[in-house]
Every structure is written in structure tokens, then in C-alpha cells.
Amino acid sequence: MSAVPSPASSDTAVRLGIIGTGAEGTVYANLILEGRVPGAVLGAVADVSPERRIAAKELGVPVHDSADALLASGDVDAVVICVPHYLHPEIAIAALRAGVHVLVEKPAGVHTSQVDELIEVAQSRPELTFAMMFNQRNNPLYRRIKEIVDAGEIGAIRRTTWVITTWWRPQGYYEQSAWRATWGGEGGGVLVNQAPHQLDLWQWICGVPKSVYSKVAYGFRRNIAVEDEVTAVVDYGDGATGVFVTAVHDLVGTDRFEILGDRGKIVVEGSKTATVTRLVDDERAISEGLSPEQVRGLFRGGFDPTDYYTQEMLEFPTEFWAQHAGVMENFAANILRGTPLIAPGSDGIRGVRLANAIHLSSWLGEEVPLDFDEDVYLRELNARIRAEGIYPERHARLETSPRP
């Protein structure tokens, strides 16, 4: 979504506000202050915590006690939203209605009906920029992989597999905040906290699946109510499938992403390097073109598969926080000059929809389509919120849904 500069912004810099000065919000504020986000200056911050507001005074900008106060202050042209997940759509909608550009930290929300409403409001304000903090889309490795897939260099995708278990979290991590790892406070576990970037990249690169069947463990290796291990199988149609595995209890951890096409294969290790294999022809054509002698050679050591493909190694130097700074720079450039967004806000619903579908499949014990009934999901989510007995139930429309 392109935007025009707001009346308060200059021609060269957007006044960014940070809503939520926890770990990530503070890092973002300092990236701006350090000059690592060209086109942006830090305008103000907001946090409901008195302790965090005291600490935020060191940033040297106005500090507000709520998102509403910051939005009404006139101190900012745009905001980065870094608060608990349920509040992402609510505060983003308030910002858009206040005429302020919005960059939302992942995930876009907890359930799709929330995000649907946010997208509706954003579409009604096309003069404002609405974007997602999907920093991994700014990783040059994944950008190059997407280019290769989109160009058809490995042919049509036949299978994808991503095992991402590098989020080991001890029990004490979940005990830091009462809202964390609860259905009513956070809305889920590893799918909504650690893995949203991978769920986004998986679909961004490989396409949106048609359905999913999952086996999910809740409180399997941690004393929490939400999911700490997930195995999901997706169906892309036309026989193509994908598998996503994630967990928080693997102390060693694995990050391996494979994309198999009918003309090649990509294998990513540790989100740092990738091996790209390009076949000389469609795999089926190679199969059908082998002579009887070549087939016999398969079992006698006389067949060399390397005659049928080439390989390329990909590796790009990258700094983790530079990816975040780059997304904020892109956000500011869109506001100032209409530069295309790396991660348009409307894309945020895709990962939320897939996470919801994975949850729903495990709750119902059946394969579910990606266009599942949102009311059924919300009913099942609220049943778990009621069982916790801590937070109020959620509603489809944010106007009637209480804050946690």
C-alpha cells in the first residue's frame, strides 16, 4: 500500500513513535536514535508500565502513558506497535483512525477475525501506510530464494519441509510474565510467539496451502497451557504437500528448510546458507529418458547423478537487527516516496490464518481448509480461555472485545 506524507511529516524524515518499550520496542527506538533508520526520527514512545516509562525517559523524547495519549499528542506521524499480541489490531486500528501510519510487530493478531477488521480499516484509509515487521523478508538469503522460486528455476513445487526447533525456552521464560503462554493473554505458544516469521516466509516463498492436518502437543514439555510442539502437514493441491515442525524443548535445535521442485531443490541450513540444485531437465523427463543400461547402472555404481544437475551455494553477510532497521527504513520510504513495501500489512493475515488452522485441526482432530469457519475457531479458543479462568472471552469484532 502506498501512502503520501502526512501533513506533520517533513519531506526527509518521518517521526516514528514506539508503542510498547519492552525488549524489542527499546531496540527499535535505539536503532532510530543511532541513525540506522534513514528517513526516520524518534518522535515519542508510550508504555502503560510506570517502570518502563521511567527507563524510557533516557531516550530523550516525549514519553506517554498510553497508546491513546501518544496518538493524540501530535508528536508522531507513524507508530511501531510492540505490545502483547491481542492488542496489535486494536491499537493499529486506533492509529489508522487517528490518521497515523502503522507498522505492526508480528503477529498481526491472534485470530483472523481480528485481523480482518484491521485490514478493513486500513483499506478505508488508503492514504496511510500499513505494514508488518516481517524482518526475515529483509534477509537477503530468503529474498534470493524467493526470486529463484518465483522465476521457476526449480520448477513447480512438489514438497516443502521446514523443521525449526531452535527456540529452546526454559520454564523460567514462561514465568516472567503472567500473560505469556496463556490462551487469554497471548493466544497461543510457539506458533504465535516464536514461529510467525517462518509461517510468513513459508507462504511468502512457497504459496498459500489449501488445507492442513496437524498433531499439536499442549504443555508437553513445559508447564504451560498452550502449544510447545507442533507437526503440521499442508496440502497445496495437485499432489504437492508440505510439513512444518516446531518446538521449544529441543536444546540443540534444528533449522532446515527444504523446497523440492520438479526441476531442482533448495536446502536452507540455519537460515544462513542455502544449496540450490538445478536439474538439467524436468525430473520426470530425466527418469523416463534413462536407457536400460543406465537403469542397471543405478545398482552397479555406474550411474553418476551429478551429470543431471548443477549446484550453487548461497550465503549473504547479514546482521540480525539490521533486518529490522531495514523494514523501518522501507516503511518510512513508503510514507515519504511511495517505495513498495517489503511486507504490506494485509499480508499479516496469512500467518495468523495458518496458525489458526493448525490449532483448529488439532482441536477438532481433522483436516481443515485454510478458509475455515472463523466462528468455529473463536468458539474453540474461547472454550480454552474459559478453562483458564483468568481472562475474559474474545469477540469477533474488536469494539466488543475487552483488553487483556
pLDDT digits (tens, 9 = 90+) for 206-231: 999 999 999 999 999 999 999 999 99
When pLDDT is averaged across residues 172-192 and rounded to a whole number, the result is 94
**Distance of alpha carbon 149 from alpha carbon 163, whole angstroms:** 19
Query: How many CA atoms within 13 Å lie on the side-chain side of 148?
Result: 24
Task: Compute the residue count for the chain.
Answer: 404
Quote the pLDDT of residue 400.
45
**Distance of alpha carbon 330 from alpha carbon 336, whole angstroms:** 10
Compute the radius of gyration of the chain from its Cα atoms.
23
**Max Cα-Cα span within the chain:** 79
Check residues 319 and 42 and name the one with the higher pLDDT.
42
| CB proximity list for 6: less than 8 A, separation 6 or greater | 77, 78, 99, 100, 101, 128, 335
Query: CA–CA distance from 117 to each of 220, 339, 378 (Å)?
Result: 34, 25, 15
4 pLDDT above the threshold of 50: no
**Distance of alpha carbon 379 from alpha carbon 387, whole angstroms:** 13
Residue spans of the domains in the chain: they are 14-134+322-341, 156-261+346-404
Region 14-134+322-341: CATH code:
3.40.50.720
pTM of the full predicted structure?
A: 0.93
User: What pLDDT band is residue 5 in, cutting at 50, 70 and 90?
Assistant: very low
Query: What percent of the chain has pLDDT above 90?
Result: 90
pLDDT digits over 65-116, tens only?
999 999 999 999 999 999 999 999 999 999 999 999 999 999 999 999 999 9
Say if residues 255 and 245 touch (Cβ distance below 8 Å): no
10 pLDDT above the threshold of 70: no
Quote the pLDDT of residue 399.
60
pLDDT digits over 304-330, tens only?
899 999 999 999 988 889 999 999 999
Quote the pLDDT of residue 297.
87
Q: Is the dihedral of CA 381, 187, 249, 222 positive or negative?
A: negative
pLDDT digits over 359-383, tens only?
999 999 999 999 999 999 999 999 9
1 pLDDT above the threshold of 50: no
User: What pLDDT band is residue 302 in, cutting at 50, 70 and 90?
Assistant: confident
Q: Which three cell numbers stand for residue 11?
A: 519531506
Query: What percent of the chain has pLDDT above 70?
Result: 96
User: Domain 156-261+346-404 adopts which CATH fold?
Assistant: Dihydrodipicolinate Reductase; domain 2 (3.30.360)
7 pLDDT above the threshold of 70: no
CA dihedral 195, 199, 201, 202 (to 10 degrees): 130
pLDDT digits over 332-344, tens only?
999 999 999 999 9
2 pLDDT above the threshold of 70: no
